[in-house]
Amino acid sequence: MYKDIATPVRTKAILEKYGFSFKKSLGQNFLIDTNILRNIVDHAELSESSGAIEVGPGIGALTEQLAKRAKKVVAYEIDQRLLPILSETLEPYPNAKVIHSDVLKANVKEMIEQEFAGIDDIMLVANLPYYVTTPIIMKILEENLPLRGIVVMLQKEVADRISAKPSTKEYGSLSIAIQYYTVPEVVMIVPKTVFVPQPNVDSAVIRLTIRQKPLVEVKSEEFFFRVTRASFAQRRKTILNNLTSQLDNGKEKKEAILSALQTAGIEPSRRGESLSIEEFAALSDALYESF
């Protein structure tokens, strides 16, 4: 049996052997708790016929646990210094492949077609670098990839915002964007003590189950998201004030905005955070022709 990568002793030995130093700019925090890694993989509910995509494998601690459960694992790693380490640590797992690439610039759809041919059940499972969490999740969702879902570790505060309900201080345009595509569920809280180096904040693992079709039907997705972002631009302002100040030519189109609010049955004095996703859909559809 191979020793797990994610023990404090083995992690330290690997880092020392390669003289690896952490780059703050890449948000590198490696997990040194095998039980937590196994738990993350449990929440992905993988089988021997599943595929897993990982972003930021580090020294391969999570990759190893995924490779033990899934049929195939493909991990994107941006840091060239980690490639020789990964080729050593993942040597026992021929079903794991590392691609040296920035996932934000990668053609993930094409990779899935090539690497996961014949695999119908695919999950994205990752301990995401905190500074690019949202762009990575949004890229994966907007590209409409053939995934069952996403299980990722991220800052607890971001997990709270993703899963927030209306009329809470965490609820905002990020909550709406991700809930439009998925059903989110915070499945674990992870203390900062199980990482090297220790981050300043606690983390959470969130599972995003991708919806068969978006939560609401809208005339234009792009415009719907523009309206939601505008509505939260200044949280203390009313929905009317935010829309007139944030939408193109909003001040000149104030009457059209008032009329759309009336059509959607929304009081102009309400704040963005009080609106449900369904209300935002009705509002953006009512506004769409005017903008």
- pLDDT > 70 in the chain, percent: 99
User: pLDDT tens, 60-86?
Assistant: 999 999 999 999 999 999 999 999 999
**Do 198 and 242 fall within a single domain?**
no
- Check which CATH number belongs to the domain holding 284 and give it: 1.10.8.100
**Do 70 and 180 fall within a single domain?**
yes
- Check which CATH number belongs to the domain holding 201 and give it: 3.40.50.150
160 in a known ligand binding site = no
**Do 127 and 251 fall within a single domain?**
no
265 in a known ligand binding site = no
Domain end position, chosen among 144, 175, 210 = 210
**Do 91 and 226 fall within a single domain?**
no
Q: Which residues contact 281 (CB under 8 A, 6 or more apart)?
A: 216, 217, 218, 224
Residue 45 pLDDT level (bands cut at 50, 70, 90): very high
The strand pairing partners of 182, in sequence order, are 210
**Do 133 and 194 fall within a single domain?**
yes
Examine residue 176 and state whether it is found in any structural domain, yes or no: yes
Examine residue 2 and state whether it is found in any structural domain, yes or no: no
Which of these ranges, 26-30, 43-47, 103-107, has the smallest mean pLDDT? 26-30
Domain end position, chosen among 210, 233, 263 = 210
Average pLDDT taken over every residue of the chain = 95
**Do 241 and 276 fall within a single domain?**
yes
How many residues comprise the chain? Answer: 291
Examine residue 1 and state whether it is found in any structural domain, yes or no: no
241 in a known ligand binding site = no
**Do 244 and 268 fall within a single domain?**
yes
**Do 13 and 147 fall within a single domain?**
yes
User: Please, where are the H alpha helices in 119-275?
Assistant: 133-142, 156-162, 173-181, 221-231, 239-246, 254-263
Residue 3 pLDDT level (bands cut at 50, 70, 90): confident
Examine residue 21 and state whether it is found in any structural domain, yes or no: yes
**Do 126 and 190 fall within a single domain?**
yes
56 in a known ligand binding site = yes
Domain ranges, residue 253: 221-288
What pLDDT, on the 0 to 100 scale, is given for residue 2? 66
35 in a known ligand binding site = no
Domain end position, chosen among 185, 210, 235 = 210
Residue 23 pLDDT level (bands cut at 50, 70, 90): confident
Examine residue 271 and state whether it is found in any structural domain, yes or no: yes
What pLDDT, on the 0 to 100 scale, is given for residue 243? 98
User: pLDDT tens, 158-204?
Assistant: 999 999 999 999 999 999 999 999 999 999 999 999 998 898 899 99
Question: Both tokens of residue 135?
Answer: 């762009």
29 in a known ligand binding site = yes
What pLDDT, on the 0 to 100 scale, is given for residue 1? 55
Examine residue 114 and state whether it is found in any structural domain, yes or no: yes
Q: Output the CA–CA distances (angstroms, integers) from residue 105 to 100, 145, 149, in the order listed.
A: 11, 15, 21
Total domain count, the chain:
2
**Do 171 and 252 fall within a single domain?**
no
**Do 282 and 182 fall within a single domain?**
no
| 278, pLDDT greater than 60 | yes
**Do 194 and 81 fall within a single domain?**
yes
| 131, pLDDT greater than 90 | no
What pLDDT, on the 0 to 100 scale, is given for residue 25? 72
Task: Measure the CA angle with vertex 93, ends 91 and 96; round to 5°.
Answer: 105
Question: Both tokens of residue 38?
Answer: 């196994």
The pTM (predicted TM-score) of the whole model is: 0.94
